[in-house]
């Protein structure tokens, strides 16, 4: 039995010039937990997950991902990251992108099944440049999952998705939960956090102002929305 946290962050600090984006943030995500990060624009959510994903270097503090340094190459096969900017060539079709990414892993997930689960089957032949924003978003989620990762980092999973797309990605996260995959997800939607997450950290101005289960956070406030606004 793995007792070590999937992610352990201690006293993380990150600034951009005069902006203190993240200030003394500490939290741990347990294996198989769905952990949400909520908070207003500019609260430091993306900066925090980018440090976990080794896309940024912290100024101070420590981060362990599956017991390793975030830059450890062994994590590439174990961690899936949904990127806001895909860096994909505009001329690649959806199928070519999926096949290209799948080829990077020894035991990739079934890309056809992933595409189907994300409503992309009828877009397989479409070039990246011609996808809608929501379709690009669906593809970025598929690419995060294609290595069949143990840990998935999702930044604004359902932003820009229509109700059907939102339902699809929520079902996908529920499927990850069933398979014991750990998920760290940034969201603006309290409904999404309440539905999907075991625990939620609420960020404000670079700091964690609350951390608990959605039910405990909502207690005494009616719902999670009112609770978050009152913090």
Chain contacts with ligand ATP (rule: CB under 6 A): 16, 19, 21, 39, 41-47
Q: What length does the chain have?
A: 231
Report the residue number, 120 or 153, with the smaller CB distance to ligand ATP.
Answer: 153
Residues 39, 229 contacting (CB under 8 angstroms): no
The distance of closest approach from Cβ of residue 50 to ligand ATP in the complex, given in angstroms and rounded to an integer, is 7
The residues facing 13 across adjacent strands are: 60
Residue with tokens 């600034």: 15
Query: Please, what is the minimum distance in Å from the beta carbon of residue 205 to ligand ATP?
Result: 8
| Nearest Cα to Cα of residue 120 among 102, 95, 145, 103 | 95
- Find the shortest distance in angstroms from Cβ 154 to ligand ATP: 13
The residue among 55 and 92 lying less far from ligand ATP, judged by its C-beta, is 55
Identify whether the C-beta of residue 174 lies closer than 8 Å to the C-beta of residue 25: no
CB of 83 to ligand ATP, least distance (A): 14
Q: Are 202 and 39 in contact (CB under 8 A)?
A: yes
Nearer residue to ligand ATP within complex by CB, 6 or 22: 22
- Least distance in Å: CB of 98 to ligand ATP? 27
Name the phi and psi angles at 193, rounded to 5: -60, -45
Query: What whole-number distance in Å separates Cα of residue 37 and Cα of residue 197?
Result: 9
Token pair of 157 as six digits? 């999973």
- d(C-alpha 190, C-alpha 188), whole Å: 6
Q: Which is nearer to ligand ATP, 97 or 186 (CB)?
A: 186
Answer for the pair 202, 214: CB distance below 8 angstroms, yes or no: no
Q: What are phi and psi of 210, to 5 degrees?
A: -160, 150
Nearer to ligand ATP, 41 or 230 (CB): 41
Closer CB to ligand ATP, 32 or 38, in the complex: 38
Q: How far is the CB of 56 from ligand ATP (least distance, A)?
A: 9
């Amino acid at each position: 039995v793995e007792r070590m946290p999937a992610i352990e962050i201690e006293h993380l600090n990150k600034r951009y010039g005069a902006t203190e984006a993240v200030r003394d943030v500490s939290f741990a995500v347990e294996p198989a937990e769905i952990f949400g990060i909520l908070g207003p624009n500019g609260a430091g959510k993306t900066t925090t997950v980018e440090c976990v994903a080794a896309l940024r270097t912290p100024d101070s503090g420590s981060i362990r991902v599956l017991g390793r340094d975030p830059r450890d190459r062994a994590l590439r096969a174990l961690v899936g990251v949904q990127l806001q900017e895909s860096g994909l060539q505009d001329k690649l079709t959806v199928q070519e992108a999926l096949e290209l990414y799948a080829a990077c892993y020894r035991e990739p997930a079934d890309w056809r099944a992933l595409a189907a689960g994300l409503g992309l089957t009828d877009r397989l032949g479409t070039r990246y440049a011609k996808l809608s924003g929501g379709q690009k978003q669906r593809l970025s989620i598929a690419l995060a999952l294609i290595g069949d990762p143990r840990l998935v980092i999702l930044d604004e999973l359902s932003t820009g998705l229509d109700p059907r797309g939102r339902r699809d990605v929520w079902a996908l996260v529920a499927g990850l939960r069933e398979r014991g995959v750990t998920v760290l997800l940034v969201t603006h939607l309290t409904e999404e956090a309440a539905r999907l997450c075991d625990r939620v950290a609420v960020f404000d101005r670079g700091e964690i102002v609350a951390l608990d289960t959605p039910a405990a956070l909502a207690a005494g406030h009616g719902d999670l929305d009112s609770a978050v606004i009152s913090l």
